[in-house]
Structure 1
């Protein structure tokens, strides 16, 4: 009888969960094996070492927050404003994403201490901004205005998860929706 191996993706997923919970130092082969309920020997069937896992974790995160998001936004079509509304809804809620906001924030924190991670984050953020420029540029002709709207949108999506303030009688979702409407005007 063949022994079933823990899929590669499970190791990556467990690594991202550990990263989210405790930063890169929490991504330890022994801890991941324990969390998965397996021996650490299976790890080496997929990865040379911990650094190889960390690289694949970053690859998976980057694919999810760029390619997969763009594919989801583009899949239902529509004009640029419609796609921006869809993108804002996805980015604001993180609905349907495997790696959640805590993963994004953990990677941003990690990038402050690791130049290689900082380069990857910059590349990912540049791809996100390029997509925003494409969408805003479709209906906004002023390049400076496009750049401002892109930065405000991106900052709003990230900052939304860091701000704990109340909004009077409005919910956070209502305020986010109003902000998005103003950016699309």
Structure 2
């Protein structure tokens, strides 16, 4: 499971889907005026595209803000980041005014603390039992994530939008 930090966005009423027939996903805008007609338009594409027909594609609503600045982290890493930002970690979801969030990120960047990373570990409960794998955290991870959150918060301030996470 993961947590995504994102800028509050507003649906535009347009629809799109991603075609994975090439080496990269291509977002294809749909001409449909409603979700129902967008599904029909996508079905026509799937009938002609072997990749989408085999592996599937789904209609997505288009928001007024692209998700390219979104920051997605594991739940364990979200707890570390939220704690450093002084935000509640109980249910790993919430929102904050952009200016407040930006201030918290700037303070966190100024005092990243120990960012040497955590080594991965593998623990077996017994030879026939469960194996627990902790993937660890690479050195510089917190500084990198706070840098990305800084970019997200700066754009949210420019747009006058809140930041949410869940």
Q: TM-score, normalised by structure 2?
A: 0.25
User: Which structure has the larger Rg?
Assistant: 2
From the two aligned structures, give the one with the greater helix fraction.
Answer: 1
Q: TM-score, normalised by structure 1?
A: 0.23
From the two aligned structures, give the one with the greater strand fraction.
Answer: 2
